[in-house]
Amino acid sequence: MAELRWNPLLKDWTIVASHRQNRPQMPKAWCPFCPGSGKVPENYDIYRYDNDFPALDQSPPEPENVGSDFYRTKPAYGKCEVILYSPKHDALIWELDLKHLRKLVDLWCERYIELSKDEKIKYIYPFENRGKEVGVTMPHPHGQIYGYSVVPLKLQLELESSREYYEENNECLICRMNKEEEEFQKRIIIENEDFICYLPFFTDYPFGVFIVSKEHRSKMIDFTEREKDNFSSILKDITGTFDSIYDKVFPYMMAIHQAPVNSAEYGDYDKYFHFHVEFYPPLRESDKIKYNASSETGAWANCNPRNVEETAEELREAYRKFSSKNSK
């Protein structure tokens, strides 16, 4: 079964993909993403791979006959792709050179352009899950891209908040966030010519940094060539910083937020929406996880168990350590 089910309480769609429950457990000695597996080319740097067990499909089955006029269903239309970062099974992002990472950025851009040609797709969402702490069973370095047929609720809220702020203040909401963080300084972790990485004032994860473009860009394909290079650079720096906090591979969820596609109802979103990357790292200490329990999950009342300004200093120290080690 694969279908979308309407949640009238939240006015949102739930993806039901029960077929994914039947995904096989991969043998420890075999990885489908490694050269020699027969599933990927023998030689590649970055590679796009159609998900074998997609939650969304461009030829979806008809929904089960279990809904009603009230409990609506519709086909789980969309696209699910896997993006392989490297042929090396145990590679880490920060170990890849900048030319290699630039190929990843270029592929994200290529897929945004290609998937947007499908007018049924409304939002293109590159993301990465890293570490067993967030449920990863395939350690080979990879991320994913989902092309949704509806704009997900969180992105709807970001778009609506950004449009409302722009209409009231004639200013981009995230440009204003950048200005606040630049003036305060103490939550900034890394900065280069074109991007700034900081722990937002309101972040609900102890190490939940944002990467934000300094210039107002609504989507990755709007970046200049220099911006693409500097985006590659700051991705390398922040992932290396994460792994330097506790001197071990640091788990996280990475979410790339950019303008929707084929969504005229949101008006001129290029004017008011601002590209950014949100990280959700579950660790609050080396051996302790920040769980989203009843308050966070049931009430959406997020709680950060640590002071943002203190963890920002820990991140800056980790960045200094990573930079020192990486320059040798």
H or E segment and range at residue 322: helix 308-326
Mean pLDDT, residues 22-27: 60
Q: For residue 179, give its domain range.
A: 2-326
Per-residue confidence at 19, pLDDT binned at 50, 70, 90?
low
Does residue 22 register a pLDDT over 60? no
* 19 in active site: no
- Give the number of domains in the chain: 1
What are the tens digits of pLDDT across the range 30-53? 899 999 999 999 999 999 999 988
**Model's pTM, two decimal places?**
0.95
Per-residue confidence at 18, pLDDT binned at 50, 70, 90?
confident
Position 284 scores a pLDDT of 94
- Dist CA 313 CA 112 (whole Å): 35
- Contact call for residues 125 and 158 (beta carbons, < 8 A): no
Position 243 scores a pLDDT of 97
CATH of the domain at 173: 3.30.428.10
Q: Which residue has the higher pLDDT, 327 or 234?
A: 234
Helix (H, G, I), strand (E, B), or coil: what is residue 189?
strand
Among 19, 89, 142, 276, the active-site one is: 142
What are the tens digits of pLDDT across the range 209-245? 999 999 999 999 999 999 999 999 999 999 999 999 9
β-sheet bridge partners, residue 198: 188, 210
- Dist CA 72 CA 203 (whole Å): 35
Position 234 scores a pLDDT of 98
| Long-range CB pairs of 163-167, under 8 A, 24+ apart, other chains included | 163/266, 163/267, 163/269, 163/272, 163/273, 165/272, 166/271, 166/272, 167/272
Per-residue confidence at 23, pLDDT binned at 50, 70, 90?
low
What are the tens digits of pLDDT across the range 72-99? 999 999 999 999 999 999 999 999 999 9
